[in-house]
Structure 1
Amino acid sequence: MFRIENAQSLLGLVVIIALCWALSENRRVFPWRLAAGALLIQLLLVLGLFGLPPLRAVVAALGQGVEALAAATQTGVAFVFGFLAGGEGQPYDVANPGALFVFAFRVLPVILVVCALAALLWHWGILKAVTRAFGLVFEKTMGLRGPPALAVGATIFMGQVEGPIFIRSYLARLSRSELFMLITVGMSCVAGSTMVAYATVLKDVLPNAAAHIITASVISAPAGVLLARILVPRDIAAEQSEPLETGPDKAYESSIDAVSRGVSDGLQIALNIGATLIVFVALAAIVNGLLGLLPDIAGAPLTLERILGV
């Protein structure tokens, strides 16, 4: 039976596109062909990832792989931090097993392992082939030039920093619209390291959380391209004046070099995430403290969580 909630996604689609058009730098130029292509890609991805049993099995296997990766990471964490990492072997009676889940020991270390594996898979050519395949799809269906298409494909798996780094030699020659597009896609997708962190946190409350996050990140890339092109329309003259060809890929000296540099990159990401969480949670607590000075509303204190929930 049809429910009004079923139209929520469709309504959101129309409202967001209309809002971006209202804020566009040139409302007379709307990328109709790009909009059709982006929506078609999203539709095919959703139907394929959720409707085709082989692809659905692949996504489910990826979800199981994420859980196995998190479990393997805990082995390394337990070796370094001992009982502080949680799990078995606690030197005292545990009254609240849930308290053993410490974000710094259970989530942030996974980022290190994922970054190391991503660098290794890139060096072996596996991730490179997948990224190029996605880049080719975006190039052919959405009219992107080669390097930006490659960066968009890399952003899906590597995140908003690593994606543009793959084409750093071309960044100075990209048009303003293309640079804005890369930033938008970077903010719309979920980096592989953060993806695994989310899945680790949500696995006990959301079945197959990793599969949902992977699917959301993949289908968000064409959406980011479309909304960026609406806000800052494509400058065809600027792109024709700066021809681009795909250049050399990011390279590592060896497998050990890939793992080492991946760990180094992951450490920076993990530290940034941990520090950002500390600051933003503290800021939220400050806001809640100030809101607590106001009278109760609907029988309960006013909080930032209630405001954002509404």
Structure 2
Amino acid sequence: MFGFGLENAQSLVGVAAILAICWAASENRGRFPWKLAIGVMAVQGLLVLALFGLPALRAGLEGVGVAVDGLATSTQAGVAFVFGFLAGTPNQPYALTDPGSLFVFAFRVLPVILVVCALAALLWHWKILVWITQGFGIVFERTMGLRGPPALATAATVFMGQVEGPIFIRSYLPSLSRSELFMLITVGMACVSGSTMVAYATILKDVLPGAAAHVLTASIVSAPAGVLLARIIVPRDAAIEEAQAYDPLAAKKYDSSIDALIKGTTDGLQIVMNVGATLIVFVALVAMLNKILGSVGDLVGYKLSVEAGLGVIFAPLAWAIGVPWHDAPVAGSLLGVKLVLTEFTAFITMGGIPVDAMDPRSRVLMTYALCGFANVASVGINLAGFSVLVPERRNEIVGMVWKAMMAGFLATCLTASIVGLLPAAQLAS
């Protein structure tokens, strides 16, 4: 039942390689968190087994997904009121030939930031977030060595997204240690938001049985992987963290509930504008580079692009996480598309691969490896978002965000490797 075969040993290579890469990039190689590494990988394996083996737990998590989807749907009501059919409402004034095109990032994702900012400010004013933070602190301090505020942001990031999660602890951000701040950015890139999980599951539903369960599980179990790799690269300094005391009520105050909603919305608007503008620039630069490479490729008679080059580079990594070698070039290309463009584009590409053209094991593992926000555009999103949330630490963030992208990228690959270690029967449901 729990046999360990050659394909499982192959995934073990991926685990070792990813940990070695992060150790080599560490700011202090003499402080490798062995206990955390063993604990996180054990928790990941148990979570995957539990999520696919315990119907009650899966139902509970699906309930959380429904709640997050409800938040997105409520946000869309406001968007539709302002922008009408441009928000992607069912009642369109023209015949649709491609319903998928109704998912517009500017109308589906960015407005959620506004709503989350307003809610976070209101919940902060009511002291609810302060109490929740203290509760998370008790649990995560004893399990992964996290303090309450970053623990809350980590949990929120799993469902809300890489910028929306830290918004919940905005008042704490200036006093976080370097390790904690790096960890937040890394976890944000290792997970996806609840609003995009539904889109990914929809894209994969025809080629991957149980696509929704896999996507939801992938985002959840990649959070501990992000914590681990972040702690390896920027080790925790407990003495510094203990010396930085929190004053949760002094950093942010509002005069009333209405004042909290208005100021939260105003703060969110700043983040939305920065994120949207930065995305345009980063995606445009990648497209520009691809045009240059394409012109060079035409001269030498070979198709060149950033994604194709990264596909060749990442083929060994795809094999190491457990993908059969005959699928490794395609899987490596998907990793390249995810890193240079977005995981959204990579999922669309994989969704277009016929069922019989890719091994089922490869497709499952790549679902986990692709399910994270670690890409070039997210570097811009984090720079823009954190520059508003904690402007006094912008220079520090500029120096760590690319390293966080690498850690987030490898975190999803580590998750795929852990999944590859498990019995195939557990992943078939």
TM-score using structure 1 length? 0.75
Q: 1: distance between equivalents of 2:204 and 2:130?
A: 31
| Counterpart AA for 1:136 | I
Using the alignment, how far apart are the partners of 1:166 and 1:8 within structure 2? 44
* SS, match of residue 296 in structure 2: coil
2:185 maps to what in 1?
186
Per the alignment, residue 151 of structure 1 pairs with 150
Shift of 1:96: 4.5
In 2: Cα distance, 1:118 partner to 1:4 partner: 48
Question: What CA distance in whole angstroms lies between the structure 2 residues aligned with 1:121 and 1:48?
Answer: 32
Aligned length: 298
Give the equivalent residue in structure 2 for 1:276.
278
- Inter-partner Cα distance in structure 2 for 1:125 and 1:214: 30
Which of 53, 61, 64 in structure 1 is aligned with 2:66? 64
Distance 1:102 1:222 in 2: 30
Residue 293 of structure 1, CA deviation: 1.4
Give 2:33's aligned amino acid: P
- Taking the aligned partners of 2:253 and 2:55, their CA distance within structure 1 comes to 36
Q: What SS is found at the alignment partner of 2:202?
A: coil
Which residue does 2:337 correspond to in 1? none
Q: Deviations over 1:37-82 (max 9, x none)?
A: 3334434444444443332112111222333333333322222112
What CA distance in whole angstroms lies between the structure 1 residues aligned with 2:299 and 2:137? 51
Partner residue of 2:38 out of 36, 40, 43: 36
CA RMSD of aligned residues (A): 3.8
Does the Cα contact within 8 Å between 2:40 and 2:225 map onto a contact in 1?
Answer: yes
The superposition leaves residues 222-241 of structure 1 with CA deviations (integer Å, 9 ceiling, x where unpaired) of 333333333344446x439x
SS of corresponding position for 1:27: coil
SS at match of 1:293: helix
Q: Paired residue for 1:286? A: 288
Write the distance in 2 (CA, Å) between the matches of 1:308 and 1:221: 25
Contact 1:24 1:231 in 2 (8 A): yes
Q: Report the CA distance shift for 1:18/1:252 in structure 2 as closer, same or farther (over 3 A).
A: same
Change in CA separation of 1:65 and 1:209 when aligned onto 2, cut-off 3 Å:
farther
Residue matched to 2:321: none
SS in structure 1 at match of 2:304: coil
Match of 2:104 in 1: 102
What per-residue deviation string (whole Å, max 9, x for no partner) do you get for residues 275-310 of structure 1? 122112211211111111133699862222323343
Unaligned 5+ segments in structure 1 are: 172-177
Partner of residue 382, structure 2: none
8 Å CA contact 2:187–2:227 kept in 1: the answer is no
Q: Report the residue type matching 2:181 in the other structure.
A: L
Aligned partner of 2:398 in structure 1 is: none
- Give the TM-score taking structure 2 as reference length: 0.57
Q: Do 1:104 and 1:274's aligned partners in 2 also have CA atoms closer than 8 Å?
A: yes
The 2-side partners of 1:292 and 1:260 are apart by 48
Partners of 2:298 and 2:127 in 1: CA distance: 59
Gap change, CA 1:46 and 1:255, over 3 Å in 2: farther
Unaligned runs of 5+ in 2: 312-332, 334-429
Is 1:167 paired with 2:169? no
Name the stretch that deviates more: 275-284 or 38-47.
38-47
Do the aligned residues in 1 keep the contact of 2:130 with 2:248 (CA within 8 Å)?
Answer: no
Residue of structure 2 equivalent to 1:305: 307
Q: Which string of whole-angstrom CA distances, capped at 9 and with x for unpartnered residues, describes residues 87-107 of structure 1?
A: 344444445544444332233
In structure 1, C-alpha distance between the alignment counterparts of 2:169 and 2:26, rounded to whole Å: 24
Distance 1:91 1:46, change over 3 A: closer
Whole-Å separation in 1 of the counterparts to 2:74 and 2:22: 43
Whether the aligned pair in 2 keeps the contact of 1:288 and 1:304 (CA below 8 Å) is: yes
Q: Distance in 2 between matches of 1:44 and 1:230?
A: 22
* Matching residue of 1:239: 240
The 8 Å contact of residues 25 and 233 in structure 1, kept in 2 or not, is answered as yes
Query: How far apart, CA to CA, are the structure 1 residues paired with 2:231 and 2:151?
Result: 14
Tell me by how many angstroms 1:131 deviates. 4.2
From the superposition, tell whether residues 162 and 90 of structure 1 become closer, same or farther in structure 2 (CA, over 3 Å).
closer
The 8 Å contact of residues 181 and 224 in structure 1, kept in 2 or not, is answered as no
AA of the residue aligned to 1:115: C
